[in-house]
Structure 1
Amino acid sequence: MSTTARSEDAPAAGDVAGRLREAGFVRLVGAAAGDALAASGVLARALADRDQPFQVSVADLPADAERATDADLTVAVGRADPVADCSITGAAEPASETAFAVARELDADPDVALALAGCVADGRAVGGSVAEAAKAAGIERRPGVAVPTTDLVDGLAHSTLVRAPFSGEPEAVADALADLGLDGADAADLDEGGRRRLASLVALRTVGDDAVPPRGGHAVERALRPFDGGPFATVGGYADVLDAVARERPGTGVALALGHDVGEAALNAWRTHARRAHAAVADATTGRYDGLFVARAETAGAPVGTLARLVHDYRSPEPVTLAVTDGAAALVADDRDLESPLATAAEGVDGTAAATGTTGRARFDVETGAVITAVREAL
């Protein structure tokens, strides 16, 4: 049977805060995405400041979440969950924006860099109270590229904010930097001119090809003019790590969002995830249909969520992109709510799915061709 989370209007921050205050034990169940992970961390830290017991977990789909814990209040973060007591869906605004407001309602002093990283990971323009708090805290944009390390070869080769010819290839990055006279350069040592040349390199290599759809020009902006702050080299790099580790090593991701000293482990997971994702993009078999672009991963277990996003942003000429591998699929759309079509497609193959706004995930036990057909018919 298909189990698809229902959408709902985002509850007001004051309402969520009121329910959290009354709960003896809170369970936070986040989606496996950077914004949801960051929002879960913001809420968990606010509860810790109040000495309120809590548990945080991350799962690809609501059906994967462990239900054994007897919590007074279960909060789904980053998507709707039909069995949660309330959901911060991240549909109307980034989940981290809502979580930041909830934390303030609880009289906490939320980590601005964490909330800002969640908003960057969400992919929409950063604004609202988080942006205002960042400005007040002196976290400002600067020229350059959003990577989590000062090692530029490492940062650019493993970034999943962009898809360029050098992505996943450290030697190719080193060659590109050498052409700019930046070989061996450390990001921390670059002057403003060097940072601008670096940003131009990334922008041109990422969206300079005529095959890149117009949306690629908007997508690459997440990687340019980064916010300077947080536990990594940039806030955008922090966002990239959060998104990767939520999908690759969720336990490490939870520890990172809670503020524990797991930076190196998180970076290792980010590198692993990036290599797998960029290899999947390079090797995917693609097909174009009316309104749908399909990337079929050739490797079992490919990170379909990141694959779908990268292909949609930088390769897909259609408004909806489907990434599919054995047993799993992800959908990304320009401006279409995917909840209803994904639910229909999942029912057609007796699968399990969840969607929030323009993104969705599904699991199934049929051939990938059947899933592609089901999605095409549902759209």
Structure 2
Amino acid sequence: MNILDIDNLHVCYRTARGTLHAVADVSLHVAPGETLGLVGESGCGKSSLGKAVMRLAHPDSGRIRILGQDITELKLRKLRPLRSQFQMVFQDPGGSLDPRQTVRRILSTPLRLTRPDLTRRAAAKRVDELLERVGLSSAVAERLPHEFSGGQRQRIAIARALAPEPKLVVCDEPVSALDVSLQAQILNLLGDLQSDLGVAYLFISHDLGVVQHLADRVAVMYLGRIVETGPRERIWRQPAHPYTRALIAAAPAITPAEERSAGARRGLLQGDLPDPYAPPQGCGFYTRCPIALPVCAVAPPAWTVLTQGHGVACHAVAAQGDPAASPSRVDGQVINFLRAPTQNLAPVRLETADLTHYSDD
């Protein structure tokens, strides 16, 4: 049985401008003890999906199941006993930790709510254990959140999420507010906790490199829809969707073998996200895609299974087959994803070259 099942989920926000389809017909699952990485640009609907899983955003349609139980319309009274099974780590630990409460009270609150039979002494011992598990001394339990660094606050937030011993933790950009060295520490901590406790993660990030470090499987999201899913190594080494390829090519190269010329990277993905209030009629990526076909402008792509566990929503890929098995061809022509011209580009709003700035300070 999966820890999490999401079936045909839709989440809409109604504003003065109209209806925003933040999550559109998304289906995903997370197995016990695995990490599903959810990646995409800012504004693509990743966080809305995570909030819907946590019941912080109400779905318009679709189903969310935790350990096989449908929680989509579950009343809060009946949902409370299940809360211990799924928890969340937010992007900004400073905003998610009550500044007026000590660390001990922050960590003991979920214990009190999910395990009312726990004695005060047992709860205090559990708080000390949680702090030590995330790499902090139990001596800091009486301090307030503002007395800690950003990385330490995120460790406290992780400890709070682990307090009820959940089966699933939704991590919404948990390292994006931290510098690189702290990011590595938190990612390693999450990996160690997963190995020790068997917890599963829905790991949300805009950084494919961060997801590659931790995830077992990857789901790529664009304009509210999942455009590709697959095992981490398959997605990283043999991406099928042009948007996934663009994300990977834009990631910083670590080794000489991964180097790409700056010119090639600039040609991969141009233009901005379409207006989410008025998305394209067909494929949402059509206006930025280097290999778009005429059908892309009028019909949303169907889901194409390439290999076991690897699927993509792309008309061009469906027409040419698995790009890992043969060169990319559309209408008989070999397509170079790195240098193919981009169609229907948005106008350039700002461009600089050889910019120099001097300060009097």
Look at both structures and tell me which one has the larger radius of gyration over its CA atoms. Answer: 2
Could you state the TM-score of these two structures normalised by the residue count of structure 2?
0.29
Structure with higher strand content? 2
Could you state the TM-score of these two structures normalised by the residue count of structure 1?
0.28
Structure with higher helix content? 1
